[in-house]
């Protein structure tokens, strides 16, 4: 289900879950909002009454504006199923990854709504930020395990000091695959003063 939040300007933006059901993916491909999907009705006592299936939902809510929308939605549904069967789209927990839809839609000449593309970009950015934070946390944890205070590290020596020790533990593993990943993570911590070296005493 989507999360809706108010921006400072007062406009609503829908941030999609990273995973979409196939029916939700169809709604997205049609350029419609997920804010009201799936549409569920309740009786006067608050008991679940009905959940509209995709075709019914499209006919009830959108066919006054576009008579072919339900038919188009069902065609997109078949396209998605074919893509999944052929391996062009992979399911995760029986759902489609939102960030995989733009490239697939482009190959099928389906133009996605700008709001959806913005939402995917936001998700990707959040995912990247989380990944970087986990790298930094891993470095700080290893510094602590080695018995050092990250805000008072012994001065850098020709042998490399604490940085070299942590590099030997983490480099090439898990979050740190890639020749410069560790260096960039260490530099971020240094630039934000999360790691500091003790001042050298001048004699």
Helix, strand, coil tally for the chain in percent (to 5): 50, 10, 40
Span 78-96, mean pLDDT? 87
Domain of 138 in residue numbering reads as 129-191
pLDDT single digits (tens) 137-154: 999 999 999 999 999 998
Of 123, 137, 121, the residue nearest 188 (C-alpha): 137
11: confidence class by pLDDT, cuts 50, 70, 90: very low
**Domain match, 101 and 136 both:** no
Q: Check whether 168 has a pLDDT greater than 70.
A: yes
Same domain, 24 and 74: yes
> Does some domain include residue 143?
yes
Tens-digit pLDDT profile for residues 107-130: 888 877 666 666 665 555 556 667
In this structure, the answer to whether residues 83 and 153 fall within a common structural domain is: no
Strand-pair partners of 12 = 6
Is 123 part of a structural domain of the chain?
Answer: no
Taking the C-alpha atoms of residue 110 and residue 160, their distance in angstroms, rounded to an integer, is 54
Residues 6 or more apart from 127 whose CB is under 8 A from it? 18
State the burial class of residue 159 (Cβ atoms within 10 Å of its Cβ: 0-12, 13-18, 19+).
Answer: exposed
CB 62 within 8 A of CB 39: no
95 φ/ψ angles, rounded to the nearest 5 degrees? -135, 160
One domain for residues 100 and 40:
yes
Residue 117 in domain: no
Same domain (yes/no): 12, 79: yes
Residue finishing a domain among 112, 144, 172: 112
Asked if 123 and 129 touch (Cβ cutoff 8 Å), the reply is no
Do residues 20 and 104 share a domain? Answer: yes
Domain membership flag for residue 122: no
How many residues would you count in the chain?
203
Pairing assessment for the beta strands 40-42 and 48-51 based on DSSP bridges: antiparallel
Give the end of a domain, one of 79, 112, 145. 112
Q: Tell me which of 10-14, 29-33, 188-192 is least confident.
A: 10-14
Residues 148 and 82 in one domain: no
User: Looking at the 3D structure of the chain, how many domains does it have?
Assistant: 2
Asked whether residue 118 is domain-assigned, the answer is no
- Measured distance CA(5)–CA(13) in Å, rounded: 6
Q: With respect to residue 153, please indicate whether it lies within any of the assigned structural domains.
A: yes
Of the three residues 68, 84, 112, the one that is the final residue of a domain is 112
How far is the C-alpha of 143 from the C-alpha of 123, rounded, in Å? 31
Are residue 19 and residue 84 in the same domain, yes or no?
Answer: yes
- Give a yes or no: residue 174 inside a domain: yes
Q: At residue 202, does pLDDT exceed 60?
A: no
Strands 40-42 and 19-20: unpaired
């Amino acid at each position: 289900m989507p999360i809706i939040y108010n921006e400072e300007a007062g406009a609503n933006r829908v941030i999609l879950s990273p995973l979409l059901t196939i029916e939700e993916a169809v709604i997205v491909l049609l350029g419609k909002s997920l804010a009201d999907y799936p549409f569920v009705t309740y009786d006067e006592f608050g008991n679940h009454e009905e959940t509209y299936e995709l075709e019914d939902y499209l006919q009830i809510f959108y066919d006054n504006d576009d008579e072919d929308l339900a038919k188009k939605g069902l065609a997109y549904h078949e396209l998605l199923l074919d893509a999944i069967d052929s391996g062009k789209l992979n399911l995760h927990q029986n759902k489609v990854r939102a960030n995989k839809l733009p490239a697939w839609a482009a190959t099928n000449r389906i133009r996605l709504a700008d709001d959806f593309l913005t939402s995917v970009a936001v998700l990707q950015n959040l995912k990247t930020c989380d990944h970087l934070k986990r790298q930094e946390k891993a470095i700080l944890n290893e510094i602590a395990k080695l018995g050092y205070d990250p805000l008072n590290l012994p001065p850098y020596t020709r042998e490399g000091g604490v940085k070299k020790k942590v590099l030997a533990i983490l480099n090439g593993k898990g979050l740190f695959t890639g020749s410069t990943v560790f260096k960039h993570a260490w530099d971020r911590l240094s630039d934000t003063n999360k790691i500091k070296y003790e001042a050298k005493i001048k004699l």
